[in-house]
Chain A
Amino acid sequence: EPEVTQTPSHQVTQMGQEVILRCVPISNHLYFYWYRQILGQKVEFLVSFYNNEISEKSEIFDDQFSVERPDGSNFTLKIRSTKLEDSAMYFCASSLDRESTYGYTFGSGTRLTVV
């Protein structure tokens, strides 16, 4: 079964450092998303991406965050200068269509720990 692949599974970084979280969405999917989940809390939307541009973003997704699809397969989330409160699980997801007729498919996540 097709899956969304995320790397690394766990990243530890020092406060103020830049991190790049990587995702390989399902190959024929067109819509890409990043969500995050702070430990013990609910999953929160960060950003959606379609046709090489951001289509929607939340208030969490401030100027420290950026997304990119550098080639035909990867989708990345960059945090420019990490803060302690950025520590969370970050999930990439993709869907075939805008209405997510078949639901999103989520990756297994990257656990980001900022120290």
Chain B
Amino acid sequence: GQQLNQSPQSMFIQEGEDVSMNCTSSSIFNTWLWYKQDPGEGPVLLIALYKAGELTSNGRLTAQFGITRKDSFLNISASIPSDVGIYFCAGRTQGGSEKLVFGKGTKLTVNP
């Protein structure tokens, strides 16, 4: 089945630093979504991408849909303590499937 390889698995950074994480796949995706999950909560949508090459920002967050449609990255600029959490990429493949395939997540720790 389709798999998303998300990296890095975890990151420990200082407040104010920029962060970058990415997802790759051998399959083509026609939608990429980035979610954040806080402990004990459900995933919350951060950014949605629908076109190859699309670059979208949401405040300090920027995400891009790769040209090959097999990858996406998420950048967080000037990190703050509340950015702590687990970030998941998720994608929907071609072929009309409704399901989202999730990456394994990047656990972000921000030291004040």
Contacts and interface: CB of A to CB of B under 8 A. Distances in A.
Contacts, number: 62
Interface in A15-71: 31, 33, 35, 41-45, 48, 55-56, 58
A112 to B, nearest CB: 14
A99 B31 contact: yes
Chain A residues touching B, range = 20 to 34
Interface string B49-86: 01000000000000000000000000000000000000
A48 B31 contact: no
Interface residues of B, number: 23
Interface of B: 31, 33, 35, 40-45, 48, 50, 88, 90, 92, 97-105
Interface in A61-115: 91, 93, 98-109, 111
Interface of A: 4, 6, 31, 33, 35, 41-45, 48, 55-56, 58, 91, 93, 98-109, 111
